[in-house]
Amino acid sequence: MTDTTAAGRTGMPTDVVVDSVSLAFDSSPLFEDFSAVYPGGQTTCLLGPSGIGKSTLLRAMAGLVPLNGGTIRDSTGRPLAGRIAYMDQSDLLLPWLTARDNVALGTRLRGERPDRAAADRLLARVGLTGHETKRPAALSGGMRQRVALARTLMEDRPIVLMDEPFSAVDALTRFRLQDLACDVLADRTVVMVTHDPQEALRLGHRLFVLTGSPARLDESPVPAAPTPRAPTRGDFPARYRDLMSRLGADETGVNA
Amino acid sequence: MKVVRAVVTILGLLVLWQAVVWVSGAPPYLLPGPVETLSVLVARAGFIAGHAGVTLAEILMGLALGTTLGVSSAIVIALFRPARRWLLPILVTSQAIPVFAIAPLLVLWLGYGMASKVGMATLIIFFPVASSFLDGLRRTDPRWIDLAHTMTGDPKARPLAVLLHVRMPAAMPALASGLRVAAAVAPIGAVVGEWVGSGAGLGYLMLQANARVQIDLMFAALITLAALAVALYFTVDFVLRKAIPWQPDTLPHTDS
Amino acid sequence: MSLFRRFAIVFAISILATPALAADKLTVMLDWFINPDHAPLYVALERGYFAEQDLDVTFVQPSDPNDPPKLVAAGQAALAVSYQPQLHLQVAQGLPLRRIATLVATPLNSLVVLADGPIQSIADLKDKKVGFSVGGFEDALLGAMLEKHGLTLDDITLINVNFSLSPSLISGQVDAVIGAFRNFELNQMDILERPGRAFFVEEEGVPGYDELIVVANADKLDDPRLPRFLTALEQGVQYLINHPDESWKLFIKGRADLDDELNRRAWTDTLPRFALRPAALDQGRYARFAAFLKERGMLETVLPTDRYAVELAR
């Protein structure tokens, strides 16, 4: 039976344990016997070149893609189904629903009574007071992603999977959305796939670069400051250089 | 402005019609001119209106019934795989059988009253509606479906909720296309039904007038039918545009 | 060169040269698909009477009986087989048509009910449904017939059943049909083992008229092919009357699909009804029927008979 309650919020933070997982896409192997642990309550960022399988791994965690081998569970061995909220780079807002109804989409699908007040509170939390009854067409890209964020929050799940969630908006909006996400998603287990090294360094408690085929993880050190980090302060620039050389070394074709 | 444009279009068509009569030299018992036809239309307005009312009723009932059947069939096929295998070929066959072959059978089973004409119109409307709605249901953005699955916790859980809240609203624009086609072909169904056997209606009137060599009356009935069909189409289009405000025209607007 | 050889060459050339006198083509539109009502035409064709008149005749079957007279009026065909009652209506609407010959000299139209049904006389039609095939003047016929029995058109419901006269009657969807041809529908119903009872229109208040006629364009009555056509038609009727069995064989020659039970029975029933003198015109009959149509409200004025029908000189 799937667990759709908000247990994660009040209970122990949930780890995501990837154990000996094999995944293929179109018959080319993406992951083989791949293991990793994403610690509960923290944000882990995954970086890597296109096509390496970051999105596929995330979708496998969400239960949307079948595994060819291995399991993805929490640290007590229970499957993750029903405890996941998912965010994509496209806002996936249903164009016929208002912002409020989009936020409450999950409750409708599960046959529960939607809590209008709660949805409105969440919209206020992401800074969209006054826009509750607008349809997505009337909102800007950044605003739509904030609605998606509110929707993610409404799901109130312990694990949040994000696939390049802010890549479709402009740099300034992205910066602000990163701050917002950091704020509202504190204490949840977040696995975020991103293209943007600065974003990974700003938000990640841990940071991994995926390289090779089949892919393996290469940890990169994060700056010492608490998230969301300022790109110009402390050891951020140094860690940035580290990361870039890691990514750059990959691109020159030197394979471990 | 819209009114002016409509008037100009109609006048233009009338002038074109008269030109065709002059240029082709067709005698009035083959092609009456607009003047003769319009004077008959005015002189026997009440008589023609009575028949027009009958045909309009047949068309509207056929639209209602055909739409209901079409929508239901599409939903059944989308939900149940066995239905897809058995019902879909029947759907396609219903379209392949020429209307005039079925018409006498319908008349035999449903009698010479309105029922057979409504049946005829329903048959013609059923396929465009079912096919377009089914297309829409099938082509739902897969990312929305994935999102829905993460929210319900299991790809197989609650297919009805996904159908109701995601697939069906998403398929509305496709259904609207089907309904526009249905509005355009419904008059054909009603009139063919009347040709096979009837006591009233514009099709019946055209047959009678033709037999009595009152070709101007026949053309007057013909214009009335055309006007009905056009009015119906634009009414349906208007209603659909208001009902689906979230999917607007992206062609530059030409109406004021 | 010897005289014989010269002669032979001239002879050969004259044989091979295009003949100066070719047969004239003539398109005759039938009123419906080929049926025994067209017997004299096909007998004339198969006996070579048209060829003897230097006429190369082609018969064309329409799918809509309303079309052929319009095509003749528009000059697209020379002759059409049509119906006297429609002719009056067509001429009134300005179509330039004239009847030049009669094919079937009696009405064939009848009011038919099921023989085992409740309707024994026309008076029993009160509040009943009557099916008709779109002819345009069923009101006129029915009105006269009903009046003779004390009823009016308001006492019945008219339903257009188009061409399914027998099926609609047999299936009980209508209580009677008008427009059924007594040589056809009655036989059809016998074959289907649901025999009908017929009320003949000319016995119930409708003046006699020619059911099938041949019409030509009124502006082309001096067409030299027409008198030749009439001569061949007359010879066709003659042979038909004298040799009915041989004529049947000629009718189905090369048209095996016509050889069925219905056509065989219809053939026998139609034989006595063909006009023995196709070109002859009974002026009074045409005047009388036009007056009848006017009286029933189908015509506004009665035109002089020569506007409807002519007897061509031969």
Q: Which of C146, C172, C203 is the last residue of a domain?
A: C203
Q: Which of C179, C203, C227 is the last residue of a domain?
A: C203
Candidates C74, C134, C160; nearest CB to B27: C74
Task: Output helix, strand, coil percentages for chain C, rounded to the nearest 5.
Answer: 45, 20, 35
Same domain (yes/no): C136, C87: no
Residue C34 lies in a domain: yes
Same domain (yes/no): B104, B181: yes
Candidates A2, A86, A95; nearest CB to B154: A2
Radius of gyration of the CA atoms of chain C, in A: 23
Contact C68, C77 (CB under 8 A): yes
Chains A and C touch (3+ CB pairs under 8 A): no
Task: Give Dmax over CA atoms of chain B in angstroms.
Answer: 74
Q: Residue B89's pLDDT is what? A: 86
Q: Residue A242's pLDDT is what? A: 87
CATH of the domain at C35: 3.40.190.10
- Sheet containing A28-38: which strands, arranged edge to edge? A28-38, A16-25, A69-73
Angle (CA) C101-C103-C106 rounded to 5° is 115
Number of other CB atoms surrounding residue B211 within 10 Å: 21
Contact C196, C112 (CB under 8 A): yes
Radius of gyration of the CA atoms of chain A, in A: 18
Same domain (yes/no): C216, C300: yes
pLDDT tens by residue, C77-121: 999 999 999 999 999 989 999 999 999 999 999 999 999 999 999
CA pair distance A22, A57, nearest whole angstrom = 10
A210, with CB counted inside 10 A (0-12, 13-18, 19+), is buried
Tokens 């059911």 -> residue:
C211
Residue B15 belongs to domain spanning: 1-29
Q: Residue B97's pLDDT is what? A: 81
- How many domains does chain B divide into? 2
- Cross-chain residue pair B211–C92, CB shorter than 8 Å: no
- Cross-chain residue pair B112–C161, CB shorter than 8 Å: yes
Same domain (yes/no): C55, C119: no
Q: Residue A5's pLDDT is what? A: 41
> Which has the closest alpha carbon to C237: C38, C39, C40?
C40
Contact C145, C205 (CB under 8 A): yes
Same domain (yes/no): C185, C223: no
Same domain (yes/no): C148, C192: yes
- Cross-chain residue pair C167–B211, CB shorter than 8 Å: no
CA distance B159 to chain C (A): 48
CA distance B106 to chain C (A): 12
Same domain (yes/no): C174, C141: yes
Q: What is the ipTM of this complex?
A: 0.82
Same domain (yes/no): C188, C218: no
- How many domains does chain C divide into? 2
Residue C65 lies in a domain: yes
Contact A126, A119 (CB under 8 A): no
Q: Residue B155's pLDDT is what? A: 58
Residue C117 lies in a domain: yes
CA distance A215 to chain B (A): 24
Number of other CB atoms surrounding residue B161 within 10 Å: 16
CA pair distance A217, A65, nearest whole angstrom = 20
Assigned fold of A39-65+75-251: Rossmann fold (3.40.50)
- Residue with the bigger pLDDT between A170 and C252: it is C252
CA pair distance C109, C135, nearest whole angstrom = 11
Same domain (yes/no): C97, C216: yes
CATH of the domain at B222: 1.10.3720.10
Where chain C has pLDDT below 50, the residues are 20
- Give, in order, the Cα–Cα distances in Å from B12 to each of A88, B4, B6, B39, C296: 54, 12, 10, 18, 41
Q: Residue A246's pLDDT is what? A: 82
Q: Residue ranges of the domains in chain A?
A: 39-65+75-251
Give contacts of B 133-152 with A, CB under 8 A. Answer: 143-144, 146-152
Q: Residue B159's pLDDT is what? A: 77
C53, with CB counted inside 10 A (0-12, 13-18, 19+), is buried
Over range A23-45, report the average pLDDT: 83
pLDDT tens by residue, A228-251: 889 888 889 988 888 888 887 545
Same domain (yes/no): C94, C126: no
Token pair of A190, please?
Answer: 């977040």
Same domain (yes/no): C99, C142: no
For chains A and B, CB pairs below 8 A equal 68
pLDDT tens by residue, A177-210: 899 899 888 889 999 999 889 999 999 999 998 8
Q: Which of C203, C236, C267 is the last residue of a domain?
A: C203
Same domain (yes/no): C98, C114: no
Contact C222, C298 (CB under 8 A): no
Token pair of B242, please?
Answer: 């208001």
Residue C297 lies in a domain: yes
Judged against a pLDDT cut of 60, whether residue A3 lies above it is answered with no
> Does an H or E element contain A209, and which?
strand A206-211
- Cross-chain residue pair B151–A59, CB shorter than 8 Å: no
CA distance B152 to chain A (A): 6
Candidates B107, B211, B213; nearest CB to C95: B213
Over range A87-100, report the average pLDDT: 91
Q: Residue B253's pLDDT is what? A: 58
Residue B249 lies in a domain: no
Residues of B in contact with C153 (CB under 8 A): none
> Which has the closest alpha carbon to A90: A139, A141, A151?
A141
Residue C189 lies in a domain: yes
Where chain B has pLDDT below 50, the residues are 256
Residue B75 lies in a domain: yes
Residue C49 lies in a domain: yes
Interface probe, candidates A2, A3, A78, A94, chain B, greatest B C-beta count within 10 A = A94
Residue C143 belongs to domain spanning: 109-203
Token pair of A110, please?
Answer: 């599960």
The verdict on B24 touching A (C-beta cutoff 8 Å) is: no
Residue B255 lies in a domain: no
Same domain (yes/no): C214, C301: yes
